[in-house]
Amino acid sequence: MIYVGEINPFRINRYLNIILSEQGEAMLKKFLGEALKLNERSISADTLNKVRKLIGELRQPSVVKPLSRDKYYVVYRCNRAFTALCIFLLKTA
């Protein structure tokens, strides 16, 4: 995920890794809950509480469409000055 404020002229300052499920929000919550149960002895109470809160707050669109690797994407910040970023998706084997 890219926050608009992190887009500077022709580059991204930082991006956040996110988890999405092609099978929907309910399956993602189920996956996170099962992962939490399997790892609860090896993680801190703080992390356990954060993941529980995440599961409760999690929202995902009903349809997740990945970006096409055959296209270029341009993102405009539209804030005071022209800034843009072309996102190039590299094909991996």
Residue 1 burial by CB count (10 A; 0-12/13-18/19+): exposed, middle or buried? Answer: exposed
pLDDT tens digits along 5-62:
787 777 788 888 888 888 889 999 999 999 999 998 999 999 999 999 999 999 988 8
Q: At what angle do helices 45-57 and 25-39 cross, to 10 degrees?
A: 170
Q: How confident is the model at residue 1 (pLDDT cuts 50, 70, 90)?
A: confident
Measured CA to CA in angstroms, residue 90 lies from 17, 36, 49, 66, 69 at distances of 17, 32, 36, 13, 7
* Termini Cα distance of the chain: 23
Structure tokens at 6: 């992190």
Look at 78 and 32; give whichever has higher pLDDT. Answer: 32
Domain ranges of the chain: 4-66
Q: How many CB atoms lie within 10 A of CB 5?
A: 9
